[in-house]
Amino acid sequence: MLFSVLTLFVGQALAAPSLSSIKVERASAQAFVSTSDLRYKLSAVNAPVSGPGSPGGASTWSLSIDDTSAGYKQKVTGFGGSVTDATITVINALPSAQRSQLLRQLLTSDGANFGLLRHTIAASDLSGPPAYTYDDSNGNADPSLSNFNLGDRGTAMANLLKEMKGIRSDLTIFGSPWSAPGWMKLNRVLTGNANNNWLDSQYYSQYAEYFVKYLQAFARLGATLDAITIQNEPLNNQGGGHVTMYQSASEAATVTQNYIGPALRAAGLNTQIWAYDHNTDQPSYPQTVISGAGGFVQATAWHCYAGNLDWTVLTNFHNANPGKSQYMTECWTSPATSWYQSSKNTVGPLQNWAEGSLMWTLGTWTQASDGTFGPYIQGGCSTCRGLFVVNQNAGTYEFTVDYYMLAQFSKFIPKGATILAGSGSYSYAGYSGIQSVASKNPDGTRTVVIENTFGNDVYLTLSTSSGQQWSGNLLAQSVTTWILP
């Protein structure tokens, strides 16, 4: 790891920001930046120069990347956010022209170019009340699943996902449930009771068939899903109105190996199963699932909420399970989180073998007078703010700082890019520092994304194992993306 001596001077001035749609040219180096104050938003700025450059009196930093085949790591699937019931509500509240424009900005190079989405299987904490599943059966047992029905909200979800795949055909979408139907659980309720809030083993087969029916129902509506996790945050067990269900690692392994995996195969579905979908502080959980059901599990999903968050857990997990993919599948964004919430929880996972990163959630209302966003369910996350927010009265939307910082990755690291080994990233106490990740892209270009959380500009020098050197300025409190030929 390279450590830099920093000096406290103002960095070089950059070109004026451009808010026009960016069409990336490949003939020469380019640079784009977003700043914490949103003065710059995916704006084109002075490109890095070949060689050491002229830092003047600016602070300096050095990074290196291995852009030879020896430095090749994981391939990227994509970046994005979660499509919740709240997301559907606010998108569908927009006038037609605004709605179409928003979807293109989310899913194409007109904007963030998101290529990976998570959707909620029935209700989550970002659903309007009441909570629901696709087979509530009025609380009565339905072992034949004869009452399975997507309902209005499930149908609306499938229709939006179909529309999104129509805009971007290579979009990867996976689904996550917040709970099985209440009658499948020992406490027999969907919400309101954390006691015995887990599956009744007599309904393991119905639990597996529930996934099959959901996948088939979505497919009939034109929304084919690429993967599922079998339970969102399985160690999060709450009463009140929040939708949760506890599931131990051993039970997850059992139902995956003996029920869900075989049921998907028997139905002719090639849907992947991603294990865990929870925090990095319990890596033994997904290891137990992979050890017990590895033939049916293709990946592990991680969230960002561990008290002592350490993304190197993913490197250790990769070393133990080199054939399994990993994703960062949830990290909340809010006015209460830092300006670098989405970038910090993307660059860290990418440095440690993740193939994609998603924020929670894609869209919400603008902030209400009481400080809440929503729609949300009782006991859910009232202060979660989407990557975009919709003003219902005005019929308009705007992107948040979290959108722009995530788009510094998603817009310029394409699906199929290969993450490169690198060194020189370092953060001091309080997360002040420089963090970076680089990729080799399918068209032969290289992308380098650099997060500068210092309060001053920094002049960066980048060395490559292929024998090149590039230098340029990083604005204070910004995420900068270099495209190198």
CA 240 from centre of chain: 27
**What is the chain's length?**
485
- Provide the 10 A C-beta neighbour count for residue 222: 13
**C-beta of residue 176 within 8 angstroms of C-beta of residue 96:** no
CA 8 from centre of chain: 35
CA distances (Å), 303 to each of 167, 459, 477, in order? 28, 33, 24
| Residue 233 among the catalytic residues | yes
The single residue of 209, 251, 330, 355 carrying the catalytic annotation is 330
Listing DSSP states for 396-440 in one string gives EEEE-HHHHHHHHHHTTS-TT-EEEEEE--EE-TTS-EEEEEEEE
Backbone φ and ψ for 264, nearest 5 degrees, come out as: -65, -45
Q: Give dist(CA 382, CA 335) in Å, integer.
A: 12
Query: Which amino acid, residue 180?
Result: A
| Residue 209 among the catalytic residues | no
Q: Give dist(CA 199, CA 208) in Å, integer.
A: 12
The single residue of 233, 251, 355, 451 carrying the catalytic annotation is 233
- Provide the 10 A C-beta neighbour count for residue 66: 19
Taking alpha carbons only, the member of 373, 438, 370 closest to residue 400 is 373
Q: Give dist(CA 471, CA 49) in Å, integer.
A: 5
- The DSSP secondary-structure symbol of 332 reads B
- Locate 129 and state its tokens: 């009340």
Pairing of strands 299-303, 325-330: parallel
Query: Which amino acid, residue 371?
Result: G
**C-beta of residue 431 within 8 angstroms of C-beta of residue 340:** yes
CA distances (Å), 62 to each of 32, 34, 201, 409, 422, in order? 19, 21, 56, 20, 11
Catalytic residue numbers, as ranges: 233, 330
